[in-house]
């Protein structure tokens, strides 16, 4: 199957909970009703009691946008285009989702696939729909537009423009997709990237050289990639604002990178956005810092904006000291060191919902997948993406291994480059057998996700190969999807 930009658009759309948007909308329009979603009702269990702990629930109400505006103005789905600056995170710890969403807004064509063409004026019936990618297919989620409000304030995402409601409604649809708002409280960054794009996620080490980091981010931005990153854990178990302005255990959107001439040498900068919509880095190259006064005026006018909008610049050195991971997601595999990979067309093999045998004591070896590499290349020519569906893992506070092995048929494979791998081990008795191993925490946190995802790029010679995924039984039972792109 050829893998190109048209592939995802041609994929059949699955109806979540078998709800047909058009049938439900037309039913309401004929009867003069506003849709009320019985599958995700306006009840506390759709929120999740842990998010309401210690609150006076007598002041909890669900209100439609028109009622929230109290007749002072008309609600709009989108005003003057969708932007990351439309979003302001609420009570749920879903920065992992909002950071990915913030990145998606930089690619309007792909954002429209998620938002769909809808409004509060044409055929309005209190019903909206959004689409997410899961297990190799688009899933359409239908919601009503009642939003949870506590003490007359938004409980979750708050629109920066009070008349614009696409961020609130999209978050509600994603909460329904996951079962409740509380299930968005901490999650896995690549999950959100893949759910919003259906793309291939690469885990990049933030600790590459500053010039290489800037080059990778710029290459990814040119390719329309989604980019997110996460800060290191602080002394507290929850996300905490630190003295330098960053938030520990928190996800950010990577929105750009640049190099500037500063004090007779190049300074390498990266630009980030905080889904809180405020609270920014306070160190060098932050808003109002003196470094901006020492670069060329033309470059400053192109890069610098002093706004309290959650977006800021920082040096790559400071980024590397404060961030633990960087994820780049693109629909077509790209090389981040030598431009676009030389393929004009990619072939993709997808295997989903296969049970992968294994246990924590010893990996079994009886499930393997075959693929062939038609041409040898110096740059990466094979991409493997292996994802565990996390829904059944979130309640399990356990460690489990996640790895895979690739080898030539009849001939053991020589170890190739493993850029982006969290941990790579090559047991001596298996040499030269390729073995990539992860042993992450299964407990989800806002900035990490390696317990459900692994993916990397290889440069393989022309031949036939076998791919053997290995994981524990609890991860196997959660379901999985494997994609091999050649």
Give the residue numbers annotated as catalytic, written as ranges. 95, 250, 274
Segment holding 2, helix H or strand E = strand 2-3
Cβ–Cβ under 8 Å, residues 432 and 356: no
Note the maximum CA span of the chain: 73
Please state whether beta strands 13-15 and 137-144 pair in parallel, antiparallel, or not at all (unpaired).
Answer: parallel
Dihedral of the alpha carbons of 46, 52, 56, 62, in degrees to the nearest 10: -30
φ/ψ region of 342 (left if φ > 0, alpha if ψ in -120 to 50, else beta) reads alpha
Cβ–Cβ under 8 Å, residues 381 and 485: no
Beta bridge partner(s), residue 305: none
Sign of CA dihedral 106, 319, 449, 184: negative
* Distances 30 to 18, 51, 117 between C-alpha atoms, Å: 21, 37, 21
Cβ–Cβ under 8 Å, residues 7 and 346: no
Task: State residue 191 phi and psi, 5-degree precision.
Answer: -55, -50
């Amino acid at each position: 199957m050829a893998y190109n930009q048209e592939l995802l658009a041609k994929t059949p759309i699955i109806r979540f909970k078998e709800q047909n948007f058009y049938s439900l909308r037309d039913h309401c329009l004929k009867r003069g009703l506003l849709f009320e979603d019985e599958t995700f009702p306006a009840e506390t269990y759709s929120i999740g009691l842990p998010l309401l702990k210690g609150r006076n629930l007598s002041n909890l109400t669900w209100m439609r946008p028109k009622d929230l505006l109290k007749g002072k103005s008309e609600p709009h789905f989108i005003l003057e285009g969708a932007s990351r600056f439309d979003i302001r995170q609420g009570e749920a710890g879903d920065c992992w989702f909002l950071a990915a969403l913030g990145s998606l807004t930089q690619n309007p064509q792909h954002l429209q696939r998620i938002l769909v063409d809808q409004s509060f004026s044409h055929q309005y019936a209190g019903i909206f729909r959004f689409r997410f990618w899961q297990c190799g297919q688009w899933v359409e989620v239908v919601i009503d537009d009642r939003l949870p409000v506590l003490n007359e304030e938004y409980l979750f995402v708050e629109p920066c423009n009070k008349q614009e409601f696409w961020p609130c409604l999209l978050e509600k649809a994603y909460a329904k997709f996951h079962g409740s708002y509380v299930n968005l409280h901490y999650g896995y960054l690549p999950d959100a990237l893949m759910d919003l794009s259906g793309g291939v996620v690469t885990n990049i080490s933030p600790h590459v050289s500053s010039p290489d980091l800037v080059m990778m981010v710029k290459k990814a931005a040119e390719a329309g990639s989604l980019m997110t990153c996460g800060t290191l854990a602080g002394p507290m178990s929850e996300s905490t604002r630190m003295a330098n302005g960053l938030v520990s255990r928190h996800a950010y959107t990577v929105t750009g990178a640049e190099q500037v001439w500063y004090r007779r040498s190049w300074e390498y900068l990266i630009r980030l956005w905080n889904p809180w919509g405020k609270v920014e880095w306070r160190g060098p190259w932050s808003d109002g810092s003196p470094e901006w006064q020492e670069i060329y005026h033309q470059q400053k006018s192109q890069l610098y904006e002093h706004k309290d909008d959650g977006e800021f610049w920082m040096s790559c050195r400071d980024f590397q000291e404060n961030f633990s991971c960087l994820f780049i997601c693109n629909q077509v595999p790209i090389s981040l060191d030598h431009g676009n990979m030389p393929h004009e067309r990619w072939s993709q093999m997808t295997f989903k919902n296969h049970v992968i045998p294994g246990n924590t004591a010893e990996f079994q070896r009886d499930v393997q997948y075959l693929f062939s590499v038609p041409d040898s290349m110096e740059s990466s020519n094979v991409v493997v993406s292996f994802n565990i569906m996390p829904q059944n893992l979130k309640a399990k506070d356990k460690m489990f291994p996640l790895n895979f092995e690739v080898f030539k048929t009849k001939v053991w494979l020589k170890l190739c480059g493993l850029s982006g791998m969290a941990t790579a081990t090559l047991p001596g008795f298996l040499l030269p057998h390729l073995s990539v191993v992860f042993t992450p925490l299964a407990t989800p946190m806002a900035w990490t996700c390696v317990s459900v995802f692994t993916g990397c790029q290889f440069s393989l010679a022309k031949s036939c190969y076998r791919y053997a995924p290995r994981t524990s039984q609890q991860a196997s039972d959660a379901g999985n999807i494997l994609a091999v792109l050649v």
